[in-house]
Structure 1
Amino acid sequence: MSKTLLKLVWLPVVLMLNLGSVAQAADVQQYNDPSKMMEAVADKTFRRIAADQAIIQKDLEHLRVVVNEELVPYIDTRYAAFRVIGNYIKQTSEQDREDFVKAFTDYMVGTYAGAFTQYKNQKVIIEPAKVGDGQKIISIKTRVVDPGKPDINIEFKLRRVKDSENWLVFDMVAEGISLLDSKRAELGSMIRQQGLPKVTALLLEKAKAPVAPLIKDSNAKG
């Protein structure tokens, strides 16, 4: 896996996040300031990881629980999944779309859980967001500071939830590459060629893979 793709996979999680309109649940805190939302969710997530280290060391699958409980409520899975389906969405049934959203979410949760195994307490600087009146989509610039390494600039895309002041993340851009666009490129042609149900089944199978570090030890063989 290239360094660029590695950043696209695990840096968004190190910062906090690509996925659930479940953020409307009553027990999930709402934020009308997108910058404060990202800061609060990131802080809460990393505190949870630190507190649960004993459990995580024994069972990496616990990271799925952390991702589902701390991150997914603040990421717009449905919107991202529909963007991946693209124009082909007109040829799909409501049930097929719902099944794909769930499979896409489970697949990304597993990927992000593996990404959290790389978290080494890096410092994240989140720039204040500038939101204009009536603006529905914004970008938030962040910077990952890792001692001894060049800073990494990451841009998050957020959208305002319909009929609400709440914001959810739906994409991020690292080194000029959009995570959402990369997923569209990876899955879009498969959806057109094989149909949505088959791609959904494929994602469900991939989601069953055990949580494992995404980056192998450079000294490891194979």
Structure 2
Amino acid sequence: MKAFKRLSQMMLAAAVLLSTALQAEVQRFTDPYQMITVVADHAFSRLAEEKDNIQQNPEILRTMVHQELLPYIDVRYAAFRVIGNHIRNTTEEERDAFVSAFQEYMISTYAGTFTLYRDQQVVVESGQDVGNRRIATVRTRVIDPGKPDITIEFKLIRHRDSEYWQVFDMVAEGISLLDSKRAELGSMIRQQGLTRVTELLQERAKQPIELSEPED
């Protein structure tokens, strides 16, 4: 139960940090620290505004994540990292289908963790010069009254053909969300094949979003 609680807190913090108010155009960031800071500032007000509507219809959270969270995550890069070495035994069509299913599965997962939001505060570390690096880490501290602070590191990537940053992983107290998903799904891919795992993710993504109370 402690492991589940920690993972839930980690994913909730990520959802809160990466969510941003709906805009006509997605704002892009050439500074990874600015990206995390700006979207964090918008997140709390948006969740507060939607609180009553979410109580009536939790599926709003799925739409919110789809519209606001995905633009800041490199889903394809993360999905390929989950596939790992098994990728050499797959076709392009299988990989595309998996990326799509993985995306919808993560939308559903993040939407579920949004139901745990209870006025947490996020402090983002001061920005640093990343130079020409393609990988950056932004450290944050999540303050939840009455509970120990949670330190979370966001891993971002800037591809060679782009100047903008996207998140591909987060690490909370040494636990990588991407590594945990790779461990969970990697053995399934090896045993059952990518197509079957894609089907399983599609099934999981269809589960309704239900309101839940955070653990003490």
Provide the TM-score with structure 2 as the length reference: 0.90
Partner in structure 2 of residue 60 of structure 1? 58
Match of 2:116 in 1: 118
Tell me, yes or no, if the aligned pair for 1:41 and 1:70 is still in contact at 8 Å: no
- 1:162-196 Cα deviation digits (max 9, x unpaired): 32210000001111110000000000010111111
Paired residue secondary structure (1:170): strand
The correspondence of residues 1-222 of structure 1 with structure 2, limited to 5 A, is 1=1, 2=3, 3-16=5-18, 27-213=25-211
CA contact (8 A) 2:140 2:152 kept: yes
Deviation at 1:200, TM superposition (A): 0.3
Residue aligned with 2:133, SS: coil
Tell me how far 1:116 sits from its aligned partner.
0.7
Percent sequence identity over aligned pairs: 55
- Give ranges in structure 2 of 5+ residues lacking alignment: none
List 4+ stretches of structure 1 deviating above 3 A. Answer: 213-218
Deviations 1:20-72 (A, max 9, x none): xxxxxx92111111111112222323322222223212110000111111111
Q: Which runs of 5+ in 1 are unaligned?
A: 18-25
Length, aligned pairs only: 210
* TM-score normalised to structure 1 length: 0.88
User: Aligned AA for 1:161?
Assistant: H
Check conservation: 1:4, 1:175, Cα contact below 8 A. no
RMSD of equivalent CA atoms? 1.8
